[in-house]
Structure 1
Amino acid sequence: MVNVYITEELYKGLISYSLQRLPEEACGFILGGQAHGKDEELQVSTFIPLRNIASNPRNRFEISPAELLPYLMDSKNPVIGLFHSHPTAPPVPSEQDLQTLWHSIPTYWILSFQQLQHPELQLYQIKKAPQTSYHKLAFVIGQ
């Protein structure tokens, strides 16, 4: 089981950015690396907001390939997570989320505003073999 460590500041930043994007889905990359050399622990360093270019941005997200390529090519600051918000849905992968081509990225983050006063963040790993499946990951804020 992978544990993910997030600073309080980054967590609040995800909420703040996503609130600004409402009623559309916010999206971006989470950068970081292994925490203290431990295989099963990821330390988050940065959130990179990316534009949602989907034709229906209230219900899905799409990132411009030209905008995301520089981050995917940067081995010094690896992309360890794909982030997006669900403005009105729970923080559970949707059918579209499960069709993602992003399963090579270690973590998949969903921030739900189903209850606007109580945003809920969940992290997942999505596996594509032979059937698509997902499971929740543990995360710690403020370490």
Structure 2
Amino acid sequence: MRLSKKAWEHLLEHAKRCLPEEACGLLGGHGDWAKAFYPVTNALHSPTEFFMEPSEQLRAFKQLLQDGYELVAIFHSHPPAPPIPSRRDLERAYDFERRQPYHPSVRHLILSLMDPEHPVAKCYRLTDDGEFVEEELSIEEG
């Protein structure tokens, strides 16, 4: 996935502001190019899990569409942990009854803030088998 530098900076600022809680939000763009970040409040106010506040998530999604984008990725941070999907992340992204991701074409961007001065982000796609597969992530101008 390609992430615009502007979206990266907005996402990073939001995640640091939410510390020590997990931050979350949506990334809008086209195909594999995420151009805009839409922050959403973590309704759980937890450092180890997130659940997007429903009305804010809907508002962010509507704004994303009004801006002419499609949903490219779901973002959340791991303040005290590496940017590796947790079991809870899988449970919230995968329909075990139907054996498929809830959003098959959407990527998952996880940001580790174990060291806030040196953040590490990774991008994943969730397969039909319920496995997170890491994809290349690049931050680019534009």
1:1-143 alignment to 2 at 5 Å? 4-34=1-31, 42-54=32-44, 57-70=46-59, 71=61, 74=65, 76-101=68-93, 103=101, 104=103, 105-127=105-127, 129=128, 131-143=129-141
AA paired with 2:137? F
AA paired with 1:114? M
Aligned partners of 1:20, 1:66: CA distance in 2, in Å? 21
Note the residue ranges of structure 1 that are not aligned, 5 or more in a row: 35-41
SS in 2 for 1:24: coil
AA paired with 1:112? S
TM superposition shift of 1:8: 1.9
The count of residues paired between Structure 1 and Structure 2 equals 130
Deviations 1:55-108 (A, max 9, x none): x52111101222223416938421110000000000000010011236315200
AA paired with 1:45? K
AA paired with 2:82? P
Aligned partners of 1:22, 1:69: CA distance in 2, in Å? 23
8 Å contact kept, 2:6–2:36: no
TM superposition shift of 1:16: 1.4
TM-score (norm 1): 0.81
**RMSD after superposition:** 2.0
Aligned partners of 1:67, 1:113: CA distance in 2, in Å? 23
Identity fraction in percent: 27
